[in-house]
Amino acid sequence: MSNTMYMVDTKDIINVNYELLYICKSKFENDWHSTAHFHPFTEIFFITSGKGSFQLEDNNVNVSEGDLIIINPNCLHTEKSTFVNEPLEYIVLGVDNLVLSFPEDKSGYQNEKNKPQYRIIKYVDKTVILGYLNSLIDEISKKDYNYEVAYKSILILLIITILRGDNNNPKVKEESTNKLSLECMKVKNYIDSHYSQNITLDLLVQLTHINKYHLVHSFTKQVGISPINYLINKRIEEAKNLLSTTNYSIREIASIVGFSNSSYFSEVFKKNTGNSPKNYRSQA
């Protein structure tokens, strides 16, 4: 009798607690609204069909079928379809308790620690990745016996497959979530929902019960931009959308996105985009 035994080195076992928040299929249609945003969790996109682009912080990256995009928490992004006859389609997962540390020699938005915050991986053969994604959707939609164990296991296999398949070997890193981080996300979510209103630092301090200096310092460190500049960027992004998709006057758009003075709106818009609102609309 011959036996070959393989022992598991338990000291190398890593406890994983990835939490799948959602998984959904999306397809570009006429009601698609593309607005820059970010999340307190990681998103994983897999392009199943079509062509488009991802705005990742200050970088615009073209994507097509077979591309997988990993976006770490707090990385500003949005996605757009490029061609009407090749509409962008993708499957996206929101995964909590997962943050990846990417090699610094790859292109990608650098956070305050000079680490890339996203990665594009191109798959020639998308069979394996798509198989895991479809299995996840199948388990969650059917909710058969012990489906929770099944989909969590599939999620872990998917992440391991992605990590092994990337030649540059991104690594999972530990990221603590403390009270201040949660409060910063409260500020971000408040701005996202109320950007058209009169928002001041004093108001945000009242909302979070955090010292003004610490709030600005922490928000800037975690998000990469101060709360007020984030508010301005949010207003400008929404203004760009309105300029491109509506016939509202510039004065009306300024008011809708939270500027009380249309002249100041035009000044800020040009400073941020390099174009006046009028010129931006004519080129859109």
pLDDT in tens, the chain (284 residues): 666 776 656 555 556 788 898 999 988 876 666 777 888 788 999 999 999 999 888 788 899 999 999 998 888 888 888 777 888 999 999 998 888 876 654 444 334 444 568 888 888 778 899 999 999 999 999 999 999 999 999 999 999 888 887 655 555 544 444 444 677 888 888 998 899 999 999 999 888 888 888 888 888 887 888 999 999 999 999 999 999 999 999 999 999 999 999 999 999 999 989 999 999 998 87
β-partners of residue 43 are: 71, 94
Question: What's the pTM value of the predicted model, to 2 decimals?
Answer: 0.58
Q: Which CATH architecture has domain 179-283?
A: Orthogonal Bundle (1.10)
Tracing tokens 């016996």 back to the chain, one arrives at 145
Domain ranges for the chain: 15-172, 179-283
Is 2.60.120.280 the CATH number for 15-172? yes
Residues near 187 by Cβ (< 8 Å), separated by ≥ 6? 204, 207, 208, 215, 219, 227
| Helix, strand, coil percentages, rounded to 5, for the chain | 40, 20, 35
37 DSSP assignment: B
Handedness of CA 235, 237, 238, 239 (dihedral sign): positive
